[in-house]
Amino acid sequence: DKPVVAPALGTVVAVVNTVEDNEIGFANVHQNWGNTVVIQHDTYLFSKLSHLKKGSIEVNIGDFVVEGQHIGKCGNSGRSPYPHLHFQLQSSAIIGGATIFWPLSEYLVGNASNLEFVQKGIPKENETVVNIATSSILQTAFKWNPGDEFKLTTKTGDGIKDSFLIRNEIDIYNHSSLVCLKTGAKLYYENNGKTFSALNYVGSRKSALFYFYRTFYKVVLSEYNDLLVKTRFPVHHLYRFPLLTLQDFLVPIKIFLKGNYSLSYKETDQLFNPQKIEMKSQIVGSNKHEIFSAAITVHKNTEIDIETNTKNSIKINLKWVNRVY
């Protein structure tokens, strides 16, 4: 009776909801797929969910569904000797259509004690795939409305303090950005509810927003401990002239400038009602040389503390405080 949900938004194009469930150990070889829902996501992209429980399907042909919407319950109908869900992607609405290889986006692989984020890929055989279970602490901390303003305060190892007022803005093209009102720097980003992704940074590197950009280049808004996020970091925000010019010239021969970003999640302080989430971000360049790292604490009250080690070993503390209007 575990709930089965829609994998993505689309339109229901086929439903079977009348096949009896089997006793454990027996299979119905005459109605192979049992109770099934087929959803069309694009012109030649369909998902099929089979062996559902009889009478549990809550959608009909023509219904529009969104990701995560409940469509039925896991059952034991069709050619199924034990309760399980058969999920596949195919190029037609036919129940029993051939499976196609199609990359999935934003999922986790591994087990509960060792998870790794995959931006886009095709799961390997025998690989355990886990959906992103979101954290209310991270979702709240990274959710801003147009016009919201935040204060980033910094303190160097020498005790020099500074502050930067940051405003969240959305332009006419629906592009979201964080704007440093002191320097004019902009951090363009995307938040889809599961991940926060920094898209581009434009402007002064002296703004605390630049360190925020490096720290949170890619964040999975997940509640899982021991999660690792890895991706490439733009080299033009790590190196300067003449190295960048030399790299452009040598691209056909060799790429020697690299930037690898990682974000690791630590175990929460409390299992059922955590008050904070601790993480560590790191950017490693060529020859595995550490360019940047930061120890992060995200509090339940939406404040974020960051202790950053820059290239010249200056520590910077940043605090992100949401103004309440």
**pLDDT cut 70: percent of the chain above it:** 94
Given this model, what pLDDT does residue 313 score? 52
On the question of pLDDT at 323 being above 60, the answer is: no
CA distance 205 to 214: 11
**Considering the chain, what percentage of its residues have pLDDT values greater than 90?**
62
**Separation between Cα atoms, residue 156 and residue 151, nearest integer Å:** 17
Return the pLDDT at 39. 98
Specify the pLDDT at position 1: 83
> Is the pLDDT confidence value at 322 over 90?
no
pLDDT of residue 308: 85
More confident residue, 13 or 254: 13
Cβ atoms 72, 52 nearer than 8 A? yes
pLDDT at 61: 97
State how far the Cα of 40 lies from the Cα of 115, in Å rounded to an integer: 30
**pLDDT band for position 269 (cuts 50, 70, 90):** low
Instruction: Please report which helix (H) or strand (E) contains residue 250, including its range.
Output: helix 243-250
- Name the pTM for this structure: 0.84
Q: Which amino acid is located at 3 in the chain?
A: P
Amino acid letter for position 24: I
The predicted structure's pLDDT at residue 325: 43
What is the pairing mode between strands 114-121 and 227-232? parallel
Instruction: Give the SS3 label for residue 122.
Output: coil
Peptide bond preceding 146 in cis form (omega within 30 of 0): no
Distance CA 292, CA 310 (A): 5
**Is residue 114 very low, low, confident or very high in pLDDT (cuts 50, 70, 90)?**
confident
Residue 282 has a pLDDT of: 95
Per-residue pLDDT tens digits for 122-181: 888 888 888 888 999 999 999 988 988 888 888 887 778 889 999 999 999 999 999 999
Confidence of residue 283 (pLDDT cuts 50, 70, 90): very high
Place of tokens 């199924």: 80
Average pLDDT for the chain: 89
Q: What is the pLDDT of residue 37?
A: 98
